[in-house]
Structure 1
Amino acid sequence: MSALSASPLSATAFETIVAKLRASAGMAAKADIGLAAARLGIGGADAIAVGDDCAAIPDGDGFLLLAIEGFMNAFVAGDPWFAGWCGVMVNLSDIAAMGGRPIAVVDAVWASGEDGAAPVLDGLRAASQRFGVPIVGGHTNLNTDRGQLSVAVLGRAKRLLTSFDARPGETLVAAIDLRGRYREPFANWQAALDAPAERLRGDLEVLPRIAEAGLSRAAKDISQGGVVGTAAMLAECSGVGVEIDLARVPAPLGVDAACWLMSFPSFGYLLTATPDNLPAIISQFHARGIAAAAIGTVTADQRVTAVNGPARETIWDLSQRALLGCGPAPAKAEDAA
């Protein structure tokens, strides 16, 4: 397994990376979630907590998981087959991130005629078959002036991994499949397209297995916000902070450090672990050929901090500026007494 750097980054490289992380469009876009949540009057304190990878709905002795993804128009127009593939893949990642297994997928496709819809639908079908999760319906409109796509998934979990259960003192773990390549121009690290179905399905099974064994309580799928942006969302929902040693993040050889930290990997997760459970979690991923490493620490200060040897830089101070706006409810005066 390779890490982002075998030793601490140079001071200049660290400063450059920190500046790019602070200006990351992928991270800033997550604030749009906060605007929508505020307008809808929902958040992390609701009975069905908002801000996680899926809505976790109590159902019998487990949970139904419901998630949806919408895709950028430029992505659908520029790489329609891959957009369809990702419609399935990213939703399945969200289900796995919460310790669940997928049940079925539905899609909504807009296109200008059958020819415009065909590659998107072909990508959806290919991913459905490879991952072994059926598409059971959806919505189609072939009379629009541009291609658009959204995809939703239903899953089930016996025991949850959530964005709301990271605790100070735990270790932050990153698990990323490095067996891939970039698919330009959208900086997506693609490690699934050439993988056999058996491997893809087995890799997703690692997360529910970790949840059901009680090895971790908190996890999040690494999204367009990259490693640091995803860590910020996890920290906000849990009301904690994180310190990330950038040099320890698993990475392919030869990648640009700043680009990698802001990339969206086809298989990438952050989890938190107690010292006793850390070796077992990492070994679960290593057994599947997936890179995994301890990359930092959960703190109590509500800051997202990049660490490079003795150097430390705050990327986002959640106590001063919300990201998702979906943190835990403030403690009541009588609770603090």
Structure 2
Amino acid sequence: MTTRTSSISAPSLPLGADAFAAVVAKLRASAGLRAKADIGRAAARLGIGGTDAVRVGDDCAAIPDGEGFLLFAIEGFMNEFVAGDPWFAGWCGVMVNLSDIAAMGGRPLAVVDAVWAAGEDGAAPVLDGLRAACERFGVPLVGGHTNLSTDRGQLSVAVLGRANRLLTSFDARPGEALIAAIDLRGRYREPFSNWEAATDAPAHRLKGDLELLPRIAERGLARAAKDISQGGVVGTAAMLAECSNVGVEIDLARVPAPADIDPARWLMSFPSYGYLLSASAAGTPAILASFEQRGIAAAAIGTVTADRRVTVTHQGAREVIWDFTRDRLLGCAPGTGTGTEDAA
């Protein structure tokens, strides 16, 4: 594991002119980004997409309910992750779902899980991780499904939440700033590119940090946001852009990052706490201040554009990572087909 960082400063990625081309190549080949296309294939088979009454393509299903919305999300985990780090997989089952709820301006209500394992001993660390996270975040785990007679460990977790006012993946507009907010007070949990910044944080800090997103929504400071997923900063920006039928241009040097980090790995990492928001010039200063007041690094890293391309820049160099005029990713933008983005 790397040395823990505690500063909210966001140094520039250690990226020279020669390294930029190598980083671009890795971003284009990112497995975390390419895997999102699988979601679109499944959604097409199911006949659901971004034009439905309950739009898919977001971090949660947002179901109208009275004056607000019920939020419903689910996350499934790779077998190798559950086998390699079962306790942390259980913890992440809760953490990533709560992050999805927050990304849409919501607050969590309850968690359920489905655990498969080879016997009680195989299930124990996963269940312990689930329990620890629910207790730390203060969200009840109210049931689920268990199978202790399988030949390998598998895990999925679902969460129900509620929002008074939504942040969505469908409401970024050209000319808005693209903001990244990431908790840098962590380290990699090897061998996966998971930035661990929550397991030893106090409960009051974890709850307060998640509360920032619904407050931003309710104050009307932003309309669009997305939880940074396994696609990393650039991949998540691509999903946000596609759903909103826009493009984004990202200045890599402005992405909040720990000191002495590998730039390609960081840009494709899953942070314990990381969000992208699209906001007007009027709302951006208040959003940045709200994160920084809680010790979370935040910066305007780029601009939402009208050209439907995901572009990265560095020291005058400029490269297109994804062109939606040529290729779909999720395929769930209104008017472009069917797709979904479950548990991004």
User: TM-score normalised by the shorter chain: which range applies?
Assistant: over 0.9
Residue identity opposite 2:160 in structure 1: L
Aligned to 1:229: 235
Instruction: Give the corresponding residue for 1:81.
Output: 87
For residues 36 and 4 of structure 1, the distance between their equivalents in structure 2, rounded to whole angstroms, comes to 39
Give the number of the structure with larger relative contact order, counting CA–CA contacts within 8 Å between residues 6 or more apart. 2
Q: Residue 218 of structure 2 aligns to which amino acid in structure 1?
A: E
Distance of 2:117 and 2:330 partners within structure 1:
31
Give, as a single letter, the amino acid of the residue that structure 1 aligns with 2:315. Answer: G
Amino acid at match of 1:185: P
1:62 and 2:52 aligned? no
Q: Which residue of 2 aligns with 1:328?
A: 334
Q: What does 1:1-337 correspond to in 2, within 5 Å?
A: 1-3=8-10, 5=12, 9-329=15-335
| AA matched with 1:294 | A
Amino acid at match of 1:5: S
Deviates most, 85-94 or 41-50: 41-50
Q: How many residues align?
A: 330
CA 1:228–1:19: 2 relative to 1, 3 Å? same
Alpha-carbon distance between aligned partners in 2 of 1:117 and 1:313, rounded to the nearest angstrom: 45
Q: Give the 3-state SS of the residue equivalent to 2:126 in structure 1.
A: helix
Structure 2 CA distance, aligned partners of 1:180 and 1:102?
24
Alpha-carbon contact 1:245-1:295 (below 8 Å) kept: yes
Cα drift, residue 151 of structure 1: 0.1
Query: Structure 1 residue 3: deviation in Å?
Result: 3.5
Output the CA distance in 1 between the equivalents of 2:27 and 2:9. 21
- Going from structure 1 to structure 2, the CA distance change for 1:133 and 1:6 (only over 3 Å counts) comes to closer
What TM-score comes out, normalization by structure 1 length? Answer: 0.96
Change (3 A) 1:319 1:121: same
Tell me how far apart the structure 2 counterparts of residues 227 and 148 of structure 1 sit (CA, whole Å).
Answer: 27
Q: CA separation in 2, counterparts of 1:3 and 1:26?
A: 24
Tell me the SS of whatever aligns to 1:235: helix
Q: Which amino acid aligns with 2:35?
A: A
TM-score between both structures, scaled by the size of structure 2: 0.94
Q: Note the C-alpha offset of 1:179.
A: 0.3
SS in 2 for 1:215: coil
CA contact (8 A) 1:306 1:314 kept: yes
Cα deviation, residue 10, structure 1: 2.5
Q: Is 1:2–1:253's contact at 8 Å kept on the other side of the alignment?
A: no
- Mapped contact 2:221–2:279 kept (Cα < 8 A): yes
Structure 2, unaligned stretches of length 5 or more? Answer: 1-7, 338-344
1:56, 1:65 within 8 Å by CA — same for their partners in 2? yes
| Structure 1 unaligned blocks of 5 or more | 332-337
Q: C-alpha distance in 2, partners of 1:3/1:12?
A: 22
Native 8 Å contact 1:96 1:204 kept in 2: yes
**Separation of aligned partners in 2, 1:225 and 1:166:** 19
Aligned-pair Cα RMSD in Å: 1.2
CA distance in 1, matches of 2:201, 2:16: 36
Deviating more after overlay: 295-304 vs 40-49: 40-49
Distance 1:39 1:141 in 2: 28
1:6-57 per-residue CA deviation (whole Å, 9 max, x = no partner) reads: 79x4221110110000000111111111111111111111111111000000
Identity of aligned residues (%): 79
Contact 2:17/2:315 (8 A) holds in 1: no
